[in-house]
Amino acid sequence: MWAIYKKELKTYFLSPIGYISIGIFMLMYSIFFYATTITYGSVDMGNLYYATARYGLLLMVPLLTMRIFSEEKRNGTEQLLLTSPKSVTSIVLGKFFAAATVILITVIISIVYAIIVSFFGTVNVPTMLVTMLGFILVAMAAISIGMLISSLTENQVVAAIITIAILIAPWFLVELSNVFSAIDLMDKFMKFPYGLISISDVISLVSITVMCVLITIILIKRRKAVK
């Protein structure tokens, strides 16, 4: 897993993708920082993460995940991976954690804003840490969805568009019926910015992640038999 993780992480920063996704995060975060913190003199960092998660992840995650398996499949490098002694599980996990690490890097960078605010007021550190935890959990769930989609197609653009569609669909479906809020990742992120760790939210985010990762592993294994 380690070998694949290292190589994947390196690839993110050998291509512009790593920098662009960090850039998107910084742009979103800065806009909301201006719109809330600076305009209203607020020290509430929680909602900053919420707003960034809602719009930033929508672009960042597909960007990070679209190539994960599509590119390997299209270039045929998939053959190199799957004929190596590494297990499918370690390949999938290596790639998953590499994408998650890029998100983690952005979250760490965002601490700079909290430091700036702390010069002018008191930042509620525990609340911010809880929100950061929530942000990472939501991002990981979104990454697992994106990775699953990427394993289904050879086309990166198709993978990206379908991932965006899946992330965005619940926003509108909720208008039809409240049932759909169950599949809305952002719905599970609502309580974190208030400093609340809801066990049910954590469990549902983690289980979405685990489920998508497992399905990806099963699909890749199964394709060896069918293909």
Please count the residues of this chain forming the interface with another protein, following the rule CB under 8 A: 22
Rounded CA-CA distance 26/52 in Å is 9
Q: Binding to another protein by residue 190, rule CB under 8 A? A: no
Q: Binding to another protein by residue 174, rule CB under 8 A? A: no
Stretch that binds another protein, among 8-16, 47-55, 172-180, 190-198 (CB under 8 A): 8-16
Concatenate the DSSP letters of all residues of 143-177 into one string.
HHHHHHHHTT-S-HHHHHHHHHHHHHHHHHHHHH-
Instruction: Give Cβ neighbours of residue 179 (< 8 Å, ≥ 6 apart).
Output: none
Q: Binding to another protein by residue 20, rule CB under 8 A? A: no
Residue 90 Cβ vs another protein, minimum distance, rounded to whole Å: 10
Contact criterion met (CB below 8 Å) for 135 and 107: yes
Of 87 and 207, CB closest to another protein: 87
Q: Binding to another protein by residue 227, rule CB under 8 A? A: yes
Sign, Cα dihedral of 207, 208, 209, 211: positive
Instruction: Give Cβ neighbours of residue 3 (< 8 Å, ≥ 6 apart).
Output: 86, 94
Of 20, 30, 86, 114, the residue at the interface with another protein (CB under 8 A) is: 86
Q: Binding to another protein by residue 7, rule CB under 8 A? A: yes
Of 72 and 201, CB closest to another protein: 72
Contact criterion met (CB below 8 Å) for 174 and 183: no
What is the contact surface with another protein in residues (CB under 8 A)? 3-4, 7, 11, 14-15, 75-87, 224-225, 227
